[in-house]
């Protein structure tokens, strides 16, 4: 009987796939979510869960910004001030991606639709929001790493995931939106500053932020490790039995 040994070996350079492939794969995956939703609309003649499409659209914004950042970096036209500006815009919208995970709380029995179908619908949107968010973070981390080194890249990634956890809390429980930075910047800034300076006054904020951030860090690290690792055939040997 012949057996093969396989070893996990890191790829020399973990370069994110081209934008074309990312847009295609993520677009097809998101399109499947929309198709599941449209089938539900056709069957029930109800627009329940329409908000999932809006939330998924918001999740795509940071990916678009990250793609622009990486393309500008590739063309060597991304200055430090512009990098900081685009990163700020990206970070502002980034929490919208993992936010869709919290939409799982809307799962409940509804007349006319099996519970398993709505579970699949909500999971599909949450999964795609997470994928699009991680893809955007991967691109941003690659830009930062190329410019400042791997250590800084991971610091930025971990900080972004922690900020995303806090953003999920602000959006789900305090009902703030990303565009409130333009609509009500003073109110949003007051909410954030007071929460940061008086953390123990908001125990739910601490729990939700740390819980979401911990999950996101583990999930992103796993995806990043899988993307940077390949299974390579090792030595072959004949074994007789």
Structural domain of 50: 2-238
> Are the C-beta atoms of residues 26 and 131 closer than 8 Å to each other?
yes
pLDDT per position as a tens digit, 64-114:
999 999 999 989 999 999 999 999 999 999 999 999 999 999 999 998 899
> 224: closest CA among 69, 8, 16?
16
Collect all residues with Cβ–Cβ distance below 8 Å to 99 and sequence separation of at least 6: 55, 58, 59, 129, 167, 168, 171, 172
Model-wide pTM > 0.85:
no
| 141-182 per-position pLDDT tens digit | 999 999 999 999 999 999 999 999 988 988 887 776 766 666
Report the alpha-carbon distance of residue 73 to residue 145 in Å, rounded.
Answer: 11
Number of domains, the chain: 1
- How confident is the model over 18-52, as pLDDT tens digits? 667 888 899 999 999 999 999 999 999 899 999 99
If one compares 138 and 185, the residue with the highest pLDDT of the two is 138
pLDDT at 61 over 50: yes
């Amino acid at each position: 009987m012949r057996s093969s040994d396989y070893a996990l070996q890191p790829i020399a350079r973990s370069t994110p796939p081209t934008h074309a492939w990312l847009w295609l794969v993520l677009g097809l995956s998101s399109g499947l979510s929309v198709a599941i939703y449209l089938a539900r609309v056709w069957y029930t003649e109800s627009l329940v869960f329409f908000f999932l499409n809006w939330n998924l659209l918001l999740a795509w914004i940071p990916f678009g910004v990250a793609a622009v950042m990486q393309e500008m970096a590739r063309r060597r036209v991304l200055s430090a001030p512009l990098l900081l500006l685009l990163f700020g815009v990206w970070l502002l919208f980034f929490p919208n991606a993992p936010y869709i995970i919290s939409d799982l709380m809307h799962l409940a029995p509804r007349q006319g639709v099996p519970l398993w179908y709505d579970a699949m619908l909500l999971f599909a949107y949450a999964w795609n929001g997470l994928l699009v968010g991680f893809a955007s973070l991967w691109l941003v981390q690659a830009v930062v790493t190329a410019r400042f080194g791997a250590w800084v890249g991971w610091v930025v990634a971990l900080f972004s995931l922690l900020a995303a956890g806090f953003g999920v809390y602000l959006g789900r429980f305090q009902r703030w939106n990303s565009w409130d930075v333009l609509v009500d910047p003073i109110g949003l800034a007051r909410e954030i500053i007071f929460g940061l300076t008086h953390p123990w006054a908001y125990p739910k904020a601490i729990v939700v932020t740390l819980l979401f951030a911990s999950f996101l860090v583990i999930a992103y690290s796993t995806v990043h490790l899988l993307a940077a690792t390949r299974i390579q055939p090792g030595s072959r040997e004949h074994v007789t039995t």
